[in-house]
Amino acid sequence: MAASFEDLLARPDLVWMGQNTTHLDPPAEVVQALEQSVRDRDFQVYAPPAGFEELRRLVGEDIGLPEVQVWITDGAVAGLYHLCMTLAPTISRVITTDPGWPWPGRFLGRTGVPLSALDVYDTPTRTLTAAQVAEVIEPRSLIYLIDPLNPLGSRYARAELEAIVALARETQSLIVHDCTYRHFATGHSLVAELYPEGTFTTYSFSKWLGLAGLRLGAVIAEPQLLSALTAVPANPLGAGIVGQRAAIAGLKVRGPWLEQVRRVNRANIERVEQVVADTGFGEVVVSPSHGNFLAVDVTATGLHSETVCDALLAADVFIRPGTYQSPHFGERFVKVSTSVPPAWVERFAAAWTSLAERTRVTV
């Protein structure tokens, strides 16, 4: 049985490399904003229902959609849940990927909306193709695109997005473009630029800024789309003020912070790739990854992905088995998060190398 998060949190020496969360020292400005907010006892007050106007403006500018409407949510997941449950009566089918992030399909499944989770693990681009979508799309579908794709790290080419958008427009379908990992990608394109009238863009502060525990995100769309969600919001009392203060501070120092976190993340990805290659234990699935994580296929090792993760956890290194994100391919790969201190990556390297050596001895 997998350890619970509460059990993991009780292990002070644990290396967290399984949830794509950032564990670098945060910007001093973010810490100062948190401390000042607590001293001011902001936590005793409800927030504006849609989020602070300054934060909404900064999010729109950050993602490159300054003219659209931004709704601040208590975590990107909460925004996705509300989106799914609000729109469910109008949706005929949800289309997503395997591997992928399973929760939107599960949310909509509760209302009886059928799910098409299309296999992308063995496709050349490791992303959903328009040809795959064309085989299952029907009028009023919802297409859920994670871009870059968690857990593989693949990114959608703009031409592929244009072809998917053409299908969505033809069938009056909606697209949810999950941009949680956009800050780590190169050459990323926004679906909202191609299909503004039918696209919801989701945004997270958990990854690039490392505010996972504060639960803060956003849903971004044209006003006529977003109004369907904000008319009766799931949380009319707003996302936590303390977290919003931290997010505002982080966005104001976005440039230098992103330069640092991207540099560390890229070096860590290269180090993990080197360890995998040097040990001959597994094979990186997408290189280079466009996220703050990468997937390693362990099929050739003869071990199940959960067995690999259990072995590393015994060394206080937490990585994630693919079974969490892929019913069809999950036993074949593990996911390793990389926006972490380099010293953590060295502990991963030691644990991975040790497992590789032990496996060779027993074969």
Same domain? For 240 and 306 the reply is: no
Listed residue (344, 362, 194, 325) closest to 265, CA to CA: 344
- Is there a single domain that holds both residue 156 and residue 278? no
Q: Helices (H), strands (E): how many in the chain?
A: 13, 13
Task: Please indicate, yes or no, whether residues 103 and 236 belong to a single structural domain of this protein.
Answer: yes
252, 276, 309 — which closes off a domain? 252
**% pLDDT > 90, the chain:** 95
Q: Which of 252, 269, 285 is the last residue of a domain?
A: 252
The answer on pLDDT for 363 being more than 70 is: no
15 and 40 share one domain: no
pLDDT digits (tens, 9 = 90+) for 16-40: 999 999 999 999 999 999 999 999 9
Domain boundary, last residue among 201, 225, 252 = 252
Q: Do 282 and 198 fall into the same domain?
A: no
Q: Could you report the per-residue pLDDT of 203-248, keeping only the tens digit for each?
A: 999 999 999 999 999 999 999 999 999 999 888 999 999 999 999 9
Is the domain of 95 the same as that of 213? yes
Residues 228 and 336 in one domain: no
Residue 4 has a pLDDT of 85
What CATH number should be reported for the domain holding residue 228? 3.40.640.10
pLDDT in tens, 151-199: 999 999 999 999 999 999 999 999 999 999 999 999 999 999 999 999 9
Do residue 222 and residue 159 come from a single domain?
yes
Same structural domain for residues 129 and 169?
Answer: yes
Number of domains observed in the structure of the chain: 2
Residues β-bridged to residue 337: 293
Both 203 and 288 in one domain: the answer is no
CATH number at residue 276: 3.90.1150.10
Euclidean distance between CA atoms 237 and 253, whole angstroms: 28
Q: Of 238, 204, 252, 207, which Cα lies nearest the Cα of 30?
A: 252
C-beta separation of 101 from 194 below 8 A: no
For residues 100 and 80, the answer to whether their CB atoms sit within 8 Å is: no
Residues 66 and 201 in one domain: yes
The share of the chain scoring above pLDDT 70, in percent, equals: 99
CA 109, CA 131: separation in Å to the nearest integer? 24
Q: How many CB atoms lie within 10 A of CB 329?
A: 22
- Show the domain range for 340: 5-25+255-362
Question: Are 307 and 290 contained in the same domain?
Answer: yes
Per-residue model confidence as pLDDT tens digits over 337-349: 999 999 999 999 9
